[in-house]
Chain A
Amino acid sequence: MLKVQNLTKLFEKNRAVSGATFDVARGELICLLGPSGCGKSTLLRMIAGLALPDAGRIDIDGKDVTEAQANRRPTAMVFQSHALWNHMTVAQNVAFGLRVQGLPKPEIAEKVAAALTLVGLDGFARRRPAELSGGQAQRVALARCLVVEPKVLLMDEPFSALDAHLRANLREELKALQRRLRLTTIFVTHDQEEAMELADRIVVMHAGRIEQIGRPGDLYLEPQTLTVARFIGQMNEATVTLKAGRADWLGQPVALPAPDGPVTLLCRPEDLQRDRAGIDVRVTRVIDLGPMIRVTVATDEGAALTWVCGREGQPQTGAPLTLRPSRLLAYRDGQRLGTAAPVANRIMAERV
């Protein structure tokens, strides 16, 4: 449906977006995820035609639109600031795209009413944007895009100005609507929870480059680069030296079939388990998050680790513990090297 190839945008010689390549299938919802300034909004604006790329190619539905301006592309965008026109009523806002297309008046009225129903705003047609709440305004902005039946719907952090509770509700509604109408959607966000919840696939961006494209679960379990691993979820990180396929991670011997050299090993907090054969640590802080407990511990050498556990068996601050990583992700030069497995600690084994 949408094909982006090698898209590049320069900003005064810096590359705002560099060689972005990905596909979006019909009816798919893709999230562009990354920290602010990573180029995700610029990438979206290039797809919309609001910014022209310095290099690369964009195809929509098999048609090259790289050099087409925004008003000649079958895309419609929902802006972060909702960008409603306050000199028009809600209905006039929604009707704008249809008026531009030159549709007859009765047809416009019909379609506008249908679009407002779709976003749950029956009876709001004559209101002014100034009389709407933040959530309602963003629904109108969505209706304004849906009514022109765009081939690709673009959303630039549409919910980030709203409060958390409302954001969660709108997210769910959007997902349901998108499934029902089979809308091809690109959704930009810096909020990984939002991306995980909404996306069929996530495109993780960093410093203008695409780091990884994958399903939400895959990104979490198998981050392909160190940047993605650090950005998504929490990690316990230490860089160690690998020698003859063995290394020592904070006192835990691990095996990794790879050439000798420095290697960064990361372990998710939930991949640490209490095990008598493991790393000796002392609890420094216990944080009750409700459904689970987050525990910060320190090794004898002073390295800090984060561990999560259930409510039962909750440790006390200062208590000694032995933790064993079950799964460690290994990276060298920022790229994935493999998965390191812990091996039995010989001394410990002898002691037992």
Chain B
Amino acid sequence: MKARRKKLPVGGIAILLAMSLAMVGPILSVIIWAFAVKWRYPNLLPTEWGLKYWRIMLGRDTVIEPILTSLALTSVATTMAALICWPAAYAFARLQFPGRQLFLFSFIAANAVPKFALFVSIAVVFLNLNLVGTFWGVVVVQMLSAVLFMIWIPTAAFRSIPPALEEAGFDLGASHLRVFVMITLPQALPALAASYVLAFVSILFEVDSALLIGAPQITTMPLLLLSLSAQVIVQEAAVLCVMIWVPCFALLLLTRRFMSSKGIAQGFGA
């Protein structure tokens, strides 16, 4: 292979630069804005840095409240989804029952429905049930979003545990429940936690459900962000973005170790 002699990978460096600009540039500009006090055209960087707008934002009830609402909504929805999905995932992975393939498939097929149009239909039904603008109305719809994450990844996780591990415990006298708690659950826990975090973050930032089902009574963090992004003072939205997204990003990076890229792709049926 003479052609592959050591030479400067010009093409690679060009792609890398272009992608860095495209991928990191937008996020970088938000981060800079969050810590800028004065940044006027045509300066490349802010002329005054500081945490001024962080203090302003954190001191406002109209900011703190939506964040707390979002955290409460998302925690309840994700936890409830986990409670109903993880046992189902175990059943899909380990038990034989009529309709198993079809049911499992229906959880992928649900991706084929355009979400926003679906939420419109749910909103109309909820309107008649007086669920629009209520906490539980939003929770139920957010659970639907969570379910799509929390069936496939956990099913794959349970499947990847060798049955012999469970059989060994069963054989030594443990009941089914005990085997599940002492052996199956600890084995699957990293992947289960990963699916929880993935669902949590995606729901936390979901605009659609809050907008169509929750508004105007329920103001969530993404809705606040949406309204702030139209404000003249750029820093407010930027601070909110950095404040909420950076911890989530760190959390996602942590959990990614427990999920293969292939696993994620398979969840979409790809």
B165 to chain A, nearest CB (A): 5
Chain B residues numbered 162-221 whose CB sits less than 8 Å from any CB in chain A: 162, 164-165, 167-175, 178, 182-183, 186-187
Which A residues are in CB contact (< 8 Å) with B167? 50, 70, 77, 79, 83
A85 with B172: CB separation less than 8 A: no
Contact for A75 among B169, B171, B183, CB less than 8 A: B171
**Alpha-carbon distance A100/B176, docked complex (angstroms):** 12
Whether A151 sits at the interface, judged by CB under 8 Å, is no
B174 with A50: CB separation less than 8 A: no
A71 with B171: CB separation less than 8 A: yes
**Alpha-carbon distance A197/B152, docked complex (angstroms):** 48
B173 with A81: CB separation less than 8 A: no
A85-B183, A85-B187, A87-B186 are contacts. A100–B172 as well, Cβ < 8 Å? yes
Which A residues are in CB contact (< 8 Å) with B171? 48-50, 70-71, 75-77
B162 with A83: CB separation less than 8 A: yes
A50 with B170: CB separation less than 8 A: yes
B174 with A96: CB separation less than 8 A: yes
A96 with B172: CB separation less than 8 A: yes
Which A residues are in CB contact (< 8 Å) with B173? 71-72, 97, 100-101, 148
Which B residues are in CB contact (< 8 Å) with A49? 171
Which A residues are in CB contact (< 8 Å) with B168? 77, 79, 83, 85, 141, 144
Chain A residues numbered 44-72 whose CB sits less than 8 Å from any CB in chain B: 48-50, 69-72
**A45 closest partner in B (C-beta):** B167
Number of interface residues of A (CB under 8 A): 25
A70 with B170: CB separation less than 8 A: yes
- Encode A128-161 as 1/0 by CB contact (under 8 A) with B: 0000000000000100110010000000000000
**B162 closest partner in A (C-beta):** A81
**Alpha-carbon distance A86/B168, docked complex (angstroms):** 13
A71-B175, A96-B182, A100-B178 are contacts. A83–B170 as well, Cβ < 8 Å? no
User: Could you say which interface size class chain B belongs to?
Assistant: 10 to 19
**A87 closest partner in B (C-beta):** B186
**B176 closest partner in A (C-beta):** A71
A83 with B165: CB separation less than 8 A: yes
Which A residues are in CB contact (< 8 Å) with B169? 85, 96
B172 with A97: CB separation less than 8 A: yes
- Encode A289-322 as 1/0 by CB contact (under 8 A) with B: 0000000000000000000000000000000000
**Alpha-carbon distance A148/B171, docked complex (angstroms):** 11
B157 to chain A, nearest CB (A): 14
B27 to chain A, nearest CB (A): 37
**Alpha-carbon distance A292/B228, docked complex (angstroms):** 90
Which A residues are in CB contact (< 8 Å) with B165? 83, 85
- Encode B150-168 as 1/0 by CB contact (under 8 A) with A: 0000000000001011011
Contact for B174 among A48, A71, A76, CB less than 8 A: A71
**A93 closest partner in B (C-beta):** B168
**Alpha-carbon distance A144/B162, docked complex (angstroms):** 18
Which B residues are in CB contact (< 8 Å) with A76? 171-172
Known: A71-B170, A77-B171, A148-B172; 8 extra A-B contacts, CB below 8 A, are A49-B171, A70-B167, A76-B172, A77-B167, A79-B168, A83-B165, A87-B187, A148-B173
A-B contact list, 25 entries, CB within 8 Å: A50-B170, A50-B171, A69-B170, A71-B172, A71-B174, A75-B171, A76-B171, A77-B171, A79-B164, A79-B167, A79-B168, A80-B164, A83-B162, A83-B164, A85-B183, A85-B187, A96-B169, A96-B174, A97-B172, A100-B173, A100-B174, A100-B178, A144-B172, A145-B172, A148-B172
In the complex, the 7 A-B pairs of residues with the closest C-beta atoms, listed nearest first: A97-B172, A83-B164, A83-B168, A87-B186, A79-B164, A100-B174, A100-B173
